Chain A
Amino acid sequence: MKPLLKPKAMKMKHIYKNLIIILGFLPIALMAQKTEKENLVVGVRYFNNNNKTHHLVFKTKSKVNGKFKNIPDIQLAVYITSDATKANLIGTITTNDVGDAVLLIPPAAKTEWVKSPNQTFVAVSTATKQFDESRGELAITKAKLQIDTVEGKIVNAKLVALIDTVWTAIADVEMQLGVKRLDGVLSVNETPTFTTDSAGGTTAEFKRDSLPGDSKGNLVLVASVLDNEVYGNLTAELSVPWGSKFSHISNFDHRTLFARRGHSPIWLELLAYSIVVAVWGIIIFLILQIRKIKQLGAV
């Protein structure tokens, strides 16, 4: 029996069939590739401010083309202790447009907080179309930073941590001692950082004599431990009358060349208006002369 199609035609038919199958599956394969989600990193940092308030700062980011990119609008559920159950939930928060979020540790968390000298915080992100659920965790040891002064403008700071129910001095921790300035901290002398000794303390001489303080000459001294792996971020503040008295004199709305309308300097107004009056006086005089010429013509 003679075959219906020649071998070459059959071969071509086979190729076409395979091509249709490949093209049919290609979009599905591409879609499958698209649905692969990216990794979200949830960073957690702990802050203890002046031994009074505690807060956590979160950062959500993801690696895009080999570089970390901040991810906004990620909802985070924050738990105290590593047991991320509803009973340990201390709050939910959404990251802002640069992927940051701040959560004050609420008083309701006190029962769990006092149970142990070490504490763990867990942030769990809600899954989105782009990211799976992710988890960030931070373990800290409770610590306190104390700041004091002695006569002769000497600043003392001491770091203690809770170890087995006892507040114990901590040695070899780096900290900064400075003065609070606008949007930053200026070191109390030329040394940028200080390290605690075996008694957990460190001392620095205050050498910023000419600094302007508030209207009474008060400056705010700040001791801070920054991004410590064990204790997190700790700060302690103390107000001291070591600055010069400063009262702000505002030029706003005074008569200046750069002031608003109607507030030009008096000398400028006098000068400008007298020139205008003189020149326009002459013009008016000359226009009156035309009238005079007219009258002479009428006579």
Chain B
Amino acid sequence: MENLAKQKIIEDLLPQKFGKQGTIWVIGLLVLCSIGFYAYCRQLYYGLAVTGMRDYASWGIYISNFVFFVAISLVGSLITAVLRLSDVHWSTPLTRIAEIIAVSAITFASLIIIVDMGRPERFYNLFLYGRLQSPIIWDVIVISTYFIISLLLLYFPLLPDLKIMIGFKERNGKWLQKLYVFLGSFWKNTPAQFKITDKAINILAITIIPVAFSIHTVTSWLFATTYRPGWDSTNFGAYFISGAFLVGSGGVLIAMYVFRTHYKLEKYITDMHFDRMGKVVVLLALLYLYFNVNEFLVPAFKMKKSEEHHLLGLFTGEYAPIFWFAISTAMIIPILILIFKKGRKPKAAFVAGILVVVGSWFKRYLIVTPTLLHPFLPMYDVPASYKHYFPTWEEWAIAIGSLAGALLVITFFARIFPIVPIHETIIETESNENETHL
């Protein structure tokens, strides 16, 4: 009986070939990536002049995209580390989803920074001649560290699953089989091996939390260490981290729904998971809303002359539509949806997740660009185009291409590896059954 249940779990959770929908989805993403790549080639050829960035708005949607990617990557540490160390077991089927979101997002965060450079061939100078005093160097160090830790956190729990997948040689095909053998042929399910992986995962779970906090705090310091309206805040680290956990959790809600419906994983990613993840999102949205109130209400109460232009631009001026859209879609509406039990049902939670992610992307744009267009010293004797920023088609194509690229990494990962951990699910099912028998 036990073996039958085990076989069923393995059968359900093994990676599946792309169906018709999956193929269309992949082709669509590849097309978006190709358009983005073409736009980037144009940018390489003609220089950053093809973008809408000028002397004042020197950071545009590339940097907002970078902050968005770094933010969403933090979910890996939340689901895998924070919940694991808190002895929360319901999140087990979501750990791999969270980790692959983290890895793909952090990969594209690194790439989009290179895209933002006018002379990418000089990137190595950052390592050769970087100043230790600069938050940019801290960001480079912490991003590469977080990437490696996330990869390890993805790899260690995958080892027992690789062993299972190697057993399906005919189903895998030649190349996948070679890959599985390369990555995990040495795994023999011995207690000594399990002991080492458990220890390694625990160490990683502890290590990734300060690194994750550092990665987004340092990203916030890229702004906060610069004396500008809207960025001159001591609160920025906490404000960024709370926002990052929110957008990451929103992303997990979307991925949960997509994988559940597409791969028919209703038994493994259940309504209970949506219910609990929904509660997590409500908590994080309230926390982020609290930080937003702090970030905007206090300066608005004082309305210092130097910040007035920037704040009024956000509240009632040029950026007001995006500002209120971001606040309502990233926080208020998702709270209103997910606070009710019905709102935490899969479909409603999926919609709330999309709202969170879309609103959060625009929130990052609002953090980066309006500040640059409201410097302390007035803009004087500059061309009219310097006073406004609107991304060119190349910027949109590259930004959308990078988002498509991140989704492509997740898609291919789910095609190659089980998106819900097989071995851990078997163990948990068995232990649940044992508890029931007792």
- Interfacial residues, chain A to chain B (CB-CB below 8 A): 257-261, 264-265, 268-269, 272, 276, 279-280, 282-283, 285-287, 289-290, 292-294, 296-298
Of B73-81, B124-132, B271-279, which binds chain A?
Answer: B124-132
A282-B203, A282-B207, A289-B200 are contacts. A297–B186 as well, Cβ < 8 Å? yes
> Given the complex of chains A and B, what is the CA–CA distance between A260 and B129 in angstroms?
10
- Say yes or no: A293 contacts B131, CB within 8 Å: no
**Minimum CB–CB distance for A286 against chain B, Å:** 5
**Minimum CB–CB distance for A280 against chain B, Å:** 7
**Minimum CB–CB distance for A195 against chain B, Å:** 42
**Minimum CB–CB distance for A146 against chain B, Å:** 46
> Given the complex of chains A and B, what is the CA–CA distance between A209 and B175 in angstroms?
87
> Given the complex of chains A and B, what is the CA–CA distance between A294 and B186 in angstroms?
5
A283-B149, A293-B187, A296-B193 are contacts. A257–B133 as well, Cβ < 8 Å? yes
- Say yes or no: A298 contacts B145, CB within 8 Å: no
- Say yes or no: B211 contacts A264, CB within 8 Å: no
- Say yes or no: B152 contacts A261, CB within 8 Å: no
> Given the complex of chains A and B, what is the CA–CA distance between A285 and B129 in angstroms?
28
Residues on A with C-beta less than 8 A from B148 are: 283
Residues on B with C-beta less than 8 A from A269 are: 132
The contact string, 1 if C-beta is below 8 Å from chain A, for chain B 163-205, is 0000000000000000000000111101011001101100110
A279-B207, A282-B207, A283-B149 are contacts. A260–B131 as well, Cβ < 8 Å? yes
**Minimum CB–CB distance for A290 against chain B, Å:** 8
Residue total for B at the interface (Cβ-Cβ under 8 A)? 29
**Minimum CB–CB distance for A170 against chain B, Å:** 47
- Say yes or no: A261 contacts B131, CB within 8 Å: yes
Residues on A with C-beta less than 8 A from B131 are: 260-261, 264
> Given the complex of chains A and B, what is the CA–CA distance between A218 and B196 in angstroms?
76
Q: Assuming A272-B132, A283-B148, A289-B200, what are 17 further A-B pairs, CB within 8 angstroms?
A: A258-B133, A264-B132, A268-B132, A268-B133, A269-B132, A276-B145, A279-B145, A279-B211, A280-B145, A283-B145, A283-B149, A286-B203, A286-B204, A293-B193, A297-B185, A297-B187, A298-B186
> Given the complex of chains A and B, what is the CA–CA distance between A269 and B138 in angstroms?
12
The contact string, 1 if C-beta is below 8 Å from chain A, for chain B 115-149, is 00000000000000111110000100100010011
Chain A contact residues, majority secondary structure: helix
> Given the complex of chains A and B, what is the CA–CA distance between A264 and B137 in angstroms?
13
Residues on B with C-beta less than 8 A from A292 are: 196
Query: Closest residue to A282 on the B side, CB-wise?
Result: B207
- Say yes or no: A293 contacts B129, CB within 8 Å: no
**Minimum CB–CB distance for B157 against chain A, Å:** 13
The answer, yes or no, to whether B159 is at the interface (CB within 8 Å) is yes
**Minimum CB–CB distance for A142 against chain B, Å:** 46
> Given the complex of chains A and B, what is the CA–CA distance between A296 and B131 in angstroms?
43
**Minimum CB–CB distance for A278 against chain B, Å:** 9
> Given the complex of chains A and B, what is the CA–CA distance between A268 and B199 in angstroms?
32
Ranked nearest first, the 10 interchain pairs of A and B with the lowest CB-CB distance are A297-B186, A264-B132, A294-B186, A261-B131, A264-B133, A297-B188, A257-B133, A289-B200, A293-B193, A296-B192
**Which of B186, B196, B199 has the largest number of chain A CB atoms within 10 A?**
B186
> Given the complex of chains A and B, what is the CA–CA distance between A298 and B187 in angstroms?
9
Residues on B with C-beta less than 8 A from A294 are: 186
**Minimum CB–CB distance for A277 against chain B, Å:** 12
Query: 18 pairs across A/B with beta carbons < 8 Å?
Result: A257-B133, A259-B133, A261-B130, A261-B131, A264-B133, A265-B133, A276-B145, A279-B145, A283-B148, A287-B152, A289-B199, A292-B196, A293-B187, A296-B186, A297-B188, A297-B190, A297-B193, A298-B186
Residues on B with C-beta less than 8 A from A272 are: 132, 138
Residues on A with C-beta less than 8 A from B155 are: 290
Residues on B with C-beta less than 8 A from A289 are: 196, 199-200
- Say yes or no: A293 contacts B159, CB within 8 Å: yes
> Given the complex of chains A and B, what is the CA–CA distance between A261 and B132 in angstroms?
7
Residues on B with C-beta less than 8 A from A276 are: 141, 145
**Minimum CB–CB distance for A276 against chain B, Å:** 6
**Minimum CB–CB distance for A43 against chain B, Å:** 28
- Say yes or no: B141 contacts A286, CB within 8 Å: no
**Minimum CB–CB distance for B220 against chain A, Å:** 18
Residues on A with C-beta less than 8 A from B196 are: 289, 292-293, 296
- Say yes or no: B129 contacts A261, CB within 8 Å: yes
A264-B131, A298-B186 are contacts. A293–B141 as well, Cβ < 8 Å? no
> Given the complex of chains A and B, what is the CA–CA distance between A259 and B132 in angstroms?
10
